[in-house]
Amino acid sequence: MKDSRKNQITSLQAAAIVASSIIGVGILTLPREVAAAAGTDGPLATLLGGGIAALLLLLLTKLGLRFPRHSLMEYSNMILGAILGRLLSLLFLVYWFLLTAILVRTFGEMVITAILPNTPLEIIIGIMLLLGAQLAAQDIKVFARIHEILLPLTIIPLLFLFLNSINAINPLHLLPILAFGPWPLIKGALATGLSFLGIESVLMLLPYYSKPQEAVKSHLYGILIPIVLYFTIVTMGLGTFGDTALQYLQWPALEQIRLAALPSMPSVFERLESIFIGIWVVVLFTSTGSLYLMVILGIRQLLGLKQQKRNRFYHYILTIPLFFLARLPQNVIAVETYARVISQAGIVLVIVGPGLLYLMALIRQKRGEEG
């Protein structure tokens, strides 16, 4: 089993997986959350938040590199012992599970509000879950390839769409900077933290890298992409709407795309939100697929199941509990609340869990064998 793990993910693919696992729902809500927390310091706060996330990613990578052929589920047992280790793994698993459900639900809410008002929510959710399951059911190397090819196909049009509204920016909306001291900046940086969740995917995927020694470099490249994207989105949103208006928009990014017509060819497409949502579907698909794979890998390794052949049937069974879980919240407000609680718990888990593991590994001098 150990040998089948090697050489599945190239360094470039690792960067792509990091980037596309991070970018998800955040695109839509980030400007509002940052504006609420940091006001006009939003863009700076985003950069700061990205920097913190990059440092955290570095910690996760270091931890993973101590055990280059094991995943979180395995080395937590080795470091913390069978019971505590299992408990930590289980916490991660539950977190990923809940996050998948809430991610899909948020997606469903937006699709229904924005483009398909008459379609039942269940269908949108169900299809997305099945797509995610389909992605997770592929071999790890195929999974990596799909991320690799979809990332440029989504990021470049996204950046283009957002930069498209550059004419709508009022520079005065971006000022003042740091007028209220460092606190709004720090609060804003913490608020962006939610959007940088997804970096924990490296905990599960590191053992599959073909060149673990390049992991640090490729992870940093990987997280640079969401930082640039988020910075653009926040700056554009803030510049267009101003920090006060931005706080009251449900999905500021969508509103912004709605505002902007293509200046170069206004007579071809008038409103680009359908294209944006199309790309956003792909973005969400990659994050859902990543999370789904985490859950699958987690369950498999926690239960000690052997890896089976392609198109494993039981991967699709998991969509059923996820489906009902995603239907649970009553309305958009409830979805937002649940999402916030889960993400905040996630942040704590991602910081405390690996931090603890790394510390214990240092103290107890545990180290996995080299690949």
Instruction: By CB under 8 A, name the one of 17, 131, 257, 350 that touches other proteins.
Output: 131
Residue 282 binds other proteins, judged by CB under 8 A: yes
Contact segment (CB under 8 A) with other proteins among 66-74, 75-83, 277-285, 357-365 equals 277-285
Contact segment (CB under 8 A) with other proteins among 141-149, 166-174, 300-308, 336-344 equals 141-149
Dist. CA 230–CA 42, nearest whole Å:
10
CB of 342 to other proteins, least distance (A): 25
SS (H, E, C) the chain: CHHHHCCCECHHHHHHHHHHHHCCCHHHHHHHHHHHHHHHHHHHHHHHHHHHHHHHHHHHHHHHHHCCCCCHHHHHHHHHCHHHHHHHHHHHHHHHHHHHHHHHHHHHHHHHHHCCCCCCHHHHHHHHHHHHHHHHCCCHHHHHHHHHHHHHHHHHHHHHHHHHHHHHCCHHHHCCCCCCCCHHHHHHHHHHHHHHCCCCHHHHHHHHECCHHHHHHHHHHHHHHHHHHHHHHHHHHHHHHHHHHHCCCCCHHHHHHHHCCCCCCCCCCCCCHHHHHHHHHHHHHHHHHHHHHHHHHHHHHHHCCCCCCCCCCHHHHCHHHHHHHHHCCCCHHHHHHHHHHHHHHHHHHHHHHHHHHHHHHHHHCCCCCCC
Contact segment (CB under 8 A) with other proteins among 63-71, 142-150, 196-204, 226-234 equals 142-150
Residue 304 binds other proteins, judged by CB under 8 A: no
CB of 289 to other proteins, least distance (A): 9
CB of 31 to other proteins, least distance (A): 23
Residue 25 binds other proteins, judged by CB under 8 A: no
Residue 336 binds other proteins, judged by CB under 8 A: no
Instruction: By CB under 8 A, name the one of 94, 139, 157, 340 that touches other proteins.
Output: 139
* Residue number with CB closer to other proteins (116 or 356): 116
Instruction: By CB under 8 A, name the one of 178, 180, 263, 271 that touches other proteins.
Output: 271
How many residues in the shown chain lie near other proteins by CB under 8 A?
A: 45
Residue 111 binds other proteins, judged by CB under 8 A: yes
Residue 217 binds other proteins, judged by CB under 8 A: no
Query: Per-residue string for binding with other proteins, 35-74, x by CB under 8 A?
Result: ----------------------------------------
Residue 274 binds other proteins, judged by CB under 8 A: yes
Residue 319 binds other proteins, judged by CB under 8 A: no
Dist. CA 327–CA 320, nearest whole Å:
11
Contact segment (CB under 8 A) with other proteins among 25-33, 57-65, 119-127, 331-339 equals 119-127
Return all residues near 80 (Cβ < 8 A) that are at least 6 apart. 88, 356, 357, 360
Contact segment (CB under 8 A) with other proteins among 4-12, 28-36, 237-245, 294-302 equals 4-12
Applying CB under 8 A, the residues found at the interface with other proteins are 6-13, 111, 115-116, 119, 124, 127, 131, 134-135, 138-139, 141-142, 144-146, 148-150, 210-211, 266-275, 277-278, 281-282, 285, 310
